[in-house]
Structure 1
Amino acid sequence: MKVSSSSFIFRFVVLHLLTLSAIVSAQQPSDSCSSTLPLNDLSFNASLLQCAEVWSLQNYILRYSRTDANTWSFVLSAPDSNSFIAIGFSTNGQMIGSSAVVGWIPSGGRGEVKQYFLGGKTPDQVVVDQGELTIVNGSMKIESVSSRLYLSFQLTTAEQPRTQVLYALGRAGAFPSSPDYSLTEHRTMISTSLNYITAVQRVVKAKPHSRLRKTHGLLNMFGWGIFIVIGSLVARHLKRWDPMWFYAHTALQTTGFLLGLTGVICGLVLENRTKASTVSTHKGLGITILVMGCLQVMALLARPDKQSKYRRYWNWYHHNVGRILIILAIANVFYGIHLGKAGSAWNGGYGFVVAVLFLVAVGLEVRKFMQK
């Protein structure tokens, strides 16, 4: 009886140790930089590939190497979570403007790999079979091995590929499909900077100075592009309510000037921090608008009496400088949206406001003409 009990305890311990070992083994990733790449039909020598664990949270592993004079080979390994996996190459670490290789294997379906140009955040700006990557014909493949996806491709480039590398994981069950292969929004992503020589990568934080950039845009948009416009409409069409129109006009123009002045200061600080070299025209227009705004404030302080013989010259100057300021301000707001790659939402939103103000101005002009 004692022997039987000891045998039972021994078997019980052995069984639990085996179970625990199985659990630990299951928790270990099935692929790592120390394991052999389980692919046999690659068109390049896999033994030359360097390896980097690029996204530990999602267990993404990137193998790469310069396998020919002008050819770089890549293999991205990731768990098969019934979603697409993607790798993108960017000039500034941001998704917008980058080119990406995206691969997926639907359940019971055939694997697909496509290149996409990420021109914006909306689906119509993510264009399939477009991008700045020169991919070797027939090199894009995706395989599923031991519950992992292996996305492989080759790039033709005379220099080193872009070091700003993005990785994305799609939503479960959401795959692009023919005929348009529209790419759905990713579930999560990460932006990294990869050193191709040392295989060391670091995570790139969110877009630097994004809050300052947004503040700069909003202040100028509301200041020069909305308040100043509304103030000019008040001065032109509401003079029957004297002197309330003057107080409203002054309040709106002062608010617009102060907002715009703060926005220009934010823009100068932003340029100094980012060392941007493509904003000279935008900056020049902004300073011109600010100078014209200062001249308008000075003109208000030097406004002659209604009975003065100089009043009509003052009116001509004040009205026409104001019109030129408004035109330049609206144009520069749209130009700033373009430079900041803010997307169609900003263009559409401000365009709608400008359209409404324009229709109101036209309606008031027609009303004024009919009254005459």
Structure 2
Amino acid sequence: MKFLNMPSFHVYFILIFAAASSSSLFRLSVNAHSHSTVCGDEGTSYMNDGRITQCRRLDALGAEFGWNYHNVIRNKSEKTVDVFFRAPFQSGWVAWGVNPGRRAEMVGTRALIAFKSSNGSLELLPFNITGDTKRGCRLQSSPIEVGFKVRNITNLAGYLSMFVRLDFPSTSDYNLSRLNHVWQIGEHVINQEPLMHRTTIQNFDCRETVDLTSGHSQSALHHRQHLRKVHGVLNIIGWGTILPLAIIVARYFKSFPFKSERWFRIHVPGQVMAYVIGTIGWAIGISLGNSSKNYTFTTHRILGITLFGVATLQMLAIWLRPKRNDDYRKYWHIYHHFLGYSLFSLIAVNIFQGISILSPAEKWKWAYVGILSCLGFIALVLEIITWTFFLFPKTQGIKSRNGADSK
């Protein structure tokens, strides 16, 4: 196996890292630019018919929102807006509403919630969303001060759409140049009572402030969503790819079965690179968590902090590892190896936890499964070779001697 000692070995490592990094960044770029601001066929048909004048896709749950602001007050006390809303629907309920408060949030929203009634027909009812609702109390239909008239409600091709005419009171609470609107999807309805929706991050992102007179939206979600993607990609590259590659180098190329004098010069820079990239991703995640007042993903946060702490301990080995002639060097090796393998397991679990929270396209999950599969295959092949050398260390030598004796 002398060919593994050749100088080009570290080139192969760099190429593997570059391929994994480029692939992940490409997926991020595609995902970041795949968002369309144009509504689907149904919303487009509403625009073509003149029923709405503007329509666009929203940032969460695959919803669409269109409107037609009638810039003529029909009477002195009302402002009229036609609203089109569309969201994925299989069963349960779909909601859209406005919040007269200072912020776009669930509590205080006057919502219109659509669902299938017991006889199979579609029904739309008004609801006041209060703090009690957020605490898990029953949500029952109640009158709202915004007048509404249902023009059309349909359930086609896995989407539920509603087209309603709203009459807003002429008060400062409903400023159509700065209207807070909220939308949501739930999976269960019992006796006209919508039950709690999921608690994924997309469900918490269903809110923004929009100017119905110009179409401009005011939302910090675009920036936050970008940071989440950067957080995920950096962690997959740093913790999830480079670090296990550096572990593989130390495990199989230190002395047995393949000896390479360059293993330490690859292992340590690889670990440092993984630590730096992973720490940047971790810091972004901590910042996102601290700025999220409405939700906390406790398990993911605890795993991330634990992961960073263990990784920091591993990095201290660069300066604090015992010298070769120290008596406790072998015990330190056991500790260092055990901590490294535990760290990798923790990383894999937390990356899948993060993917579950973000709920991105399935390709994200399968991309990381592919990375793990490649790493696992490499480790398995090298492990088989290691055990072969360990169990049959002298096979080559015995065959050579037998051949010489027979002569």
- Distance in 2 (CA, whole Å) between partners of 1:230 and 1:284 is 25
Change (3 A) 1:337 1:237: same
Deviation of 1:78 after TM superposition, in Å, equals 2.9
Deviation of 1:300 after TM superposition, in Å, equals 2.7
Other structure's SS at 2:296 match? coil
How many residues were matched structurally? Answer: 240
Aligned match for 2:60, one of 80, 95, 106: 95
- Distance in 2 (CA, whole Å) between partners of 1:276 and 1:362 is 44
- Distance in 2 (CA, whole Å) between partners of 1:86 and 1:366 is 62
Partner of 2:222: 207
Change (3 A) 1:266 1:79: closer
| Structure 2: 5+ residue stretches without partners | 1-37, 40-44, 66-84, 95-112, 131-140, 142-154, 160-166, 180-209, 211-216, 391-407
TM-score, normalising length from structure 2? 0.49
- Alpha-carbon deviations, 1:275-329, whole Å to 9, x = none? 3532222111111111111111112312223343211101100000011111111
Change (3 A) 1:276 1:262: farther
Partner of 2:115: 135
Equivalent residues of 2:243, 2:270 under 8 A apart: yes
Change (3 A) 1:288 1:136: closer
Partner of 2:324: 306
Residue type at the aligned position of 1:235: A
- Distance in 1 (CA, whole Å) between partners of 2:378 and 2:362 is 24
Change (3 A) 1:285 1:136: closer
- Distance in 1 (CA, whole Å) between partners of 2:343 and 2:86 is 41
- Distance in 1 (CA, whole Å) between partners of 2:91 and 2:251 is 53
Structure 1 vs Structure 2 CA RMSD: 4.4
Partner of 1:231: 246
- Distance in 2 (CA, whole Å) between partners of 1:129 and 1:277 is 25
1:357 has 2:369 as partner:
no
1:23-34 matches, within 5 Å, as none
Deviation of 1:264 after TM superposition, in Å, equals 1.3
Deviates more, 1:252-261 or 1:336-345: 336-345
Other structure's SS at 1:252 match? helix
1:147-166 matches, within 5 Å, as 154-155=124-125, 157=127, 159=129
Deviation of 1:361 after TM superposition, in Å, equals 1.1
The alignment-based identity, stated in percent, is 25
Aligned match for 2:365, one of 329, 336, 347: 347
Residue type at the aligned position of 1:309: D
| Structure 1: 5+ residue stretches without partners | 1-56, 59-76, 101-114, 119-126, 142-152, 162-175, 184-193
Change (3 A) 1:281 1:360: same
Partner of 1:280: 298
Deviation of 1:155 after TM superposition, in Å, equals 3.0
- Distance in 2 (CA, whole Å) between partners of 1:285 and 1:249 is 25
Equivalent residues of 2:289, 2:296 under 8 A apart: no
- Alpha-carbon deviations, 1:134-157, whole Å to 9, x = none? 52648978xxxxxxxxxxx62364
Aligned match for 1:78, one of 46, 54, 63: 46
Other structure's SS at 1:250 match? helix
Deviation of 1:347 after TM superposition, in Å, equals 0.7
TM-score, normalising length from structure 1? 0.54
Equivalent residues of 2:238, 2:277 under 8 A apart: yes
- Distance in 1 (CA, whole Å) between partners of 2:60 and 2:362 is 15
Change (3 A) 1:261 1:140: same
- Distance in 1 (CA, whole Å) between partners of 2:324 and 2:91 is 67
Deviates more, 1:268-277 or 1:308-317: 268-277
Change (3 A) 1:116 1:79: closer
Change (3 A) 1:274 1:158: closer
Aligned match for 1:219, one of 234, 242, 246: 234
Equivalent residues of 2:47, 2:55 under 8 A apart: no
1:246 has 2:264 as partner:
yes
Equivalent residues of 1:337, 1:343 under 8 A apart: no
Equivalent residues of 1:139, 1:154 under 8 A apart: no
